[in-house]
């Protein structure tokens, strides 16, 4: 346990030493500027690897492993200089989950905009996973250590190039137990839902084995599609729209598949970005070793450009 804590503390120190450049103010559109700012692949993979390590014990909500994962996410939010909302860094909750009562903590960070400070984009990724079941540890590298790592990279870039809208970054807990953290959040929102222009939800951003990062939610909110349609592929990864029409049935319909569903139920527009099902989905084999860093980095770059496109396009 001591070794584990020292390792996490060492990483926190490492990231804390990274200098934070002042937000630039040139007139180039943020979408174009983003192309010149590379993903920090080493940090991206470090975040993924730490969250999906065996000692996180599958990050089950309400377990010691989940607590360690939360401590790590908090340390990264702090290192990145993300402000806490007035209500605090953590949002605790207790609810009836899919497998009984569940307690958890959402982790919150804020980047205020000076351009449109009172209109918000809520970017989310759940940090919990399935924990240990029948003696097997479900590390959840793609689901969803990847989305959290992508969110942290987005946070780093927002500190370099300020967004047009204010941004609330949320690492949700207990997604795997009936979207419990997200459902608690929308009942107790930190920023008003009426002032929330869109929820951008990241869940499984690493395993684009087929070269596709899916965009779900523009069938429900068509005005969000044109800015995203303009995005070119990044390396081996391209966007594809779908999994959200009445013709998409069963597990091929993702409108209610992850935390964005809680926002959708309250009438908040959503965009969900994620990879398709793969053989390791919800298996103990969803490990870091199955992730190709170049694909994950490309997908994360596409996530960042999608964020900028939405941020720029919301008021057009």
Q: Which residues bind Zn ion (CB under 5 A)?
A: 143-144, 203
CB of 125 to Zn ion, least distance (A): 9
For Zn ion, the closer of residues 34 and 143 by Cβ is 143
Residue with tokens 């996530």: 303
For Zn ion, the closer of residues 143 and 311 by Cβ is 143
CB of 281 to Zn ion, least distance (A): 9
Specify whether the CB–CB gap between 172 and 70 falls below 8 A.
no
Specify whether the CB–CB gap between 307 and 213 falls below 8 A.
no
For Zn ion, the closer of residues 207 and 308 by Cβ is 207
CB of 184 to Zn ion, least distance (A): 17
With the C-alpha atoms ordered 267, 268, 271, 277, is the resulting torsion angle positive or negative? negative
Q: How far apart are the C-alpha atoms of 118 and 195, rounded to whole Å?
A: 7
Give me the torsion for CA of 282, 285, 289, 294, rounded to 10°. -30
Radius of gyration of the chain (CA): 18
Q: How far apart are the C-alpha atoms of 304 and 248, rounded to whole Å?
A: 27
For Zn ion, the closer of residues 146 and 161 by Cβ is 146
For Zn ion, the closer of residues 47 and 143 by Cβ is 143
CB of 163 to Zn ion, least distance (A): 25
For Zn ion, the closer of residues 239 and 257 by Cβ is 257
CB of 129 to Zn ion, least distance (A): 7
CB of 274 to Zn ion, least distance (A): 8
């Amino acid at each position: 346990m001591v070794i584990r804590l020292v390792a996490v503390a060492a990483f926190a120190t490492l990231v804390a030493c990274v200098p934070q450049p002042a937000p630039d103010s040139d007139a180039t559109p943020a979408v174009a500027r983003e192309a010149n700012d590379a993903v920090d692949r080493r940090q991206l993979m470090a975040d993924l690897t730490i969250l999906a390590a065996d000692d996180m014990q599958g990050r089950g909500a309400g377990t010691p492993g989940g607590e360690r994962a939360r401590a790590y996410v908090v340390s990264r939010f702090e290192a990145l200089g993300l402000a806490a909302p007035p209500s605090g860094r953590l949002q605790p909750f207790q609810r009836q989950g899919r497998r009984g009562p569940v307690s958890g903590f959402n982790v919150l960070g804020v980047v205020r905009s000076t351009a449109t400070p009172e209109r918000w984009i809520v970017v989310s990724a759940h940090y919990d996973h399935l924990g240990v079941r029948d003696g097997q540890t479900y590390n959840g590298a793609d689901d969803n250590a990847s989305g959290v790592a992508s969110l942290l990279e987005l946070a780093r870039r927002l500190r370099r190039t300020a967004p047009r809208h204010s941004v609330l970054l949320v690492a949700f807990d207990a997604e795997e137990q009936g979207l419990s953290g997200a459902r608690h959040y929308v009942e107790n929102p930190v920023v008003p839902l009426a002032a929330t222009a869109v929820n951008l939800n990241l869940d499984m951003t690493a395993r684009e084995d087929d070269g596709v990062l899916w965009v779900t939610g523009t069938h429900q909110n068509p005005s969000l599609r044109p800015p995203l349609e303009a995005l070119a592929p990044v390396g081996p990864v391209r966007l594809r729209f779908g999994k959200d029409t009445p013709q998409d049935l069963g597990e091929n319909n993702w409108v209610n598949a992850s935390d964005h569903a809680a926002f959708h139920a309250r009438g908040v527009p959503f965009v969900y970005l994620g990879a398709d099902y793969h053989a390791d989905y919800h298996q103990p084999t969803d490990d870091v070793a199955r992730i190709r860093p170049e694909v994950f980095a490309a997908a994360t770059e596409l996530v960042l450009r999608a964020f900028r496109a939405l941020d720029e396009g919301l008021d057009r």
